[in-house]
């Protein structure tokens, strides 16, 4: 199996705010990759084949990097953080596999999804396998408290995904209801990934909560920018296609804002295309025009900035350090990739 080498990721990160954190955790991240490759092994060849397709396809490893950095911020010097970072990535990967089945997605990061290559059935089952492996990693890390944090996050993610499924095609979704979805779907793993850094060092409750807040708000900002990118990303640089959310009838914040700011004709358009899923070839362009006209993308980025400001403030209780600076730069990265 070919794993996208760290060098390629570095080139990409060099143009982004991820470079400082990547420099700091580079050797730990290599160890995390080794654990990941080792733990996705199985006598059933399809498992590493399918899991490797997604895990090796050049994801940013953002969540495990946050675990490594949070541990370092708290002065951690053991090896538990490597296992837990791998565990966080396994939970994330299992979620992506099931997500792509649920959304019937054909492309992720510019490559065919696992379900497109091996079918939904294998994706569901290999997701379950990775999920189980994640818990085995937590057992190896040996802390019941961290097991509690990560299993709670996993349950919340599943709740968020079901909630999102229910709001799909519902154009009357409010901004509050949408925030409930991403606070459940995206924020918990970011929050848990950071929180365990404080827990593994036995740091006081204040620092545990600060890292939780940093992670949660960074996660919300990250998701909101993701929603914007779905209507504006340059396909080549980000391996994303424009309009996936639109085609899947997903109600994200840009749409919620444009729907509310629009007139009756606009609402009829959103209702037909997203509510009833009746889309014609020119509809995505019309949607993009409406989002632009109502400033919905810029406004969504403003909302993201609000959460990124909370994430920034949360870190202030920690003394200044290179790690803290790198974690602040991650916030900038999350916002800036939206431009």
Site residues for a second copy per CB under 8 A? 42-44, 46-47, 94-95, 98, 101-102, 120-122, 124-129, 131-133, 135-136, 138-139, 142, 144, 147-148, 151-152, 154-155, 157-159, 161-163, 165-166
- Give phi and psi for 112, each to the nearest 5: -60, 140
The CB-of-41 to a second copy minimum distance in angstroms stands at: 11
Strand 107-108 relative to strand 111-112, pairing: antiparallel
Name the residue nearer to a second copy (CB basis): 156 or 240.
156
Q: How many CA atoms lie within 13 A of 252 on its CB side?
A: 29
Element (H or E) spanning 111, and its range? Answer: strand 111-112
Least Cβ distance, residue 330 to a second copy (angstroms): 26
Q: What DSSP string runs through 175-210?
A: HHHHHHHHHHHTHHHHHHHHHHHHHHTT--HHHHHH
Element (DSSP H or E) covering residue 107: strand 107-108
* Pick 115 or 308: Cβ nearer a second copy: 115
Identify which of residues 155 and 317 has a Cβ nearer to a second copy in the complex: 155
As a whole number of angstroms, the distance between CA 214 and CA 317 comes to 11
Q: For residues 40 and 255, which CB has a smaller minimum distance to a second copy in the complex?
A: 40
Minimum distance of a second copy from residue 309's CB (angstroms): 28
Q: Based on CB atoms, which residue is closest to a second copy, 248 or 332? A: 248
Which of residues 85 and 146 has its CB atom nearest to a second copy in the complex? 146
Closest approach, Cβ 118 to a second copy, in A, equals 10
Minimum CB–partner distance for residue 40 and a second copy (Å): 11
Minimal distance, residue 322 CB to a second copy, in Å: 34
State residue 108 phi and psi, 5-degree precision: -145, 130
Contacts of 136 (CB under 8 A, 6+ apart): 39
Rounded-to-integer distance, Cα 221 and Cα 308, Å = 6
**Between residues 45 and 282, which has the closer beta carbon with respect to a second copy?**
45
> What are the tokens at 42?
């199985």
In order of 288, 290, 294, 324, the CA distances from 260 in angstroms are: 15, 11, 9, 39
Closer to a second copy by Cβ: residue 104 or 175: 104
Supply 306's token pair: 């609000």
Closest separation in Å from C-beta 115 to a second copy: 11
Which residues pair with residue 111 across a beta bridge? 108
Nearest in space to 3 (alpha carbons), one of 56, 41, 50, 52: 56
- Supply the minimum distance, in Å, between the C-beta of residue 53 and a second copy: 14
Beta bridge partner(s), residue 112: 107
């Amino acid at each position: 199996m070919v794993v996208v080498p760290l060098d390629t990721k570095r080139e990409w990160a060099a143009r982004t705010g991820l470079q400082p954190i990547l420099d700091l955790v580079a050797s730990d991240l290599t160890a995390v990759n080794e654990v990941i490759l080792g733990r996705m092994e199985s006598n059933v060849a399809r498992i590493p084949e399918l899991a490797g397709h997604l895990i090796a396809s050049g994801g940013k490893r953002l969540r495990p990097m946050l675990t490594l950095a949070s541990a370092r911020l708290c002065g951690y010097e053991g090896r538990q953080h490597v296992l837990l970072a791998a565990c966080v990535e396994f939970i994330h990967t299992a979620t992506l596999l099931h997500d792509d089945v649920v959304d019937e997605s054909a492309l992720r990061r510019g490559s065919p999804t696992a379900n497109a290559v091996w079918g939904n059935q294998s994706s569901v089952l290999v997701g379950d396998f990775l999920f189980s492996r994640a818990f085995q990693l937590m057992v190896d890390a040996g802390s019941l408290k961290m097991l509690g944090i990560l299993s709670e996050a996993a349950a919340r993610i599943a709740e968020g995904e079901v909630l999102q499924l229910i709001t799909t095609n519902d154009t009357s979704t409010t901004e509050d209801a949408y925030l409930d979805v991403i606070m459940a779907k995206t924020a918990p793993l970011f929050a848990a990934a950071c929180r365990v850094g404080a827990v593994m060092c036995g740091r006081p409750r204040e620092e545990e909560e600060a890292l939780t807040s940093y992670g949660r708000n960074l996660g919300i900002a990250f998701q909101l920018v993701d929603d914007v990118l779905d209507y504006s990303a340059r396909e080549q640089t980000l391996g994303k296609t424009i309009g996936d959310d639109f085609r899947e009838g997903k109600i994200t914040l840009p749409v919620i804002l444009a729907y509310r700011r629009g007139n009756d004709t606009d609402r009829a358009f959103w209702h037909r295309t997203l509510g009833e899923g009746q889309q014609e070839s020119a509809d995505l362009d019309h949607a993009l025009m409406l989002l632009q006209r109502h400033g919905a993308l810029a406004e969504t980025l403003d909302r993201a900035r609000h959460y990124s400001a909370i994430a920034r403030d949360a870190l202030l209780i920690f003394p200044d350090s290179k790690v803290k600076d790198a974690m602040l730069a991650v916030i900038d990265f999350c916002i800036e990739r939206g431009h």
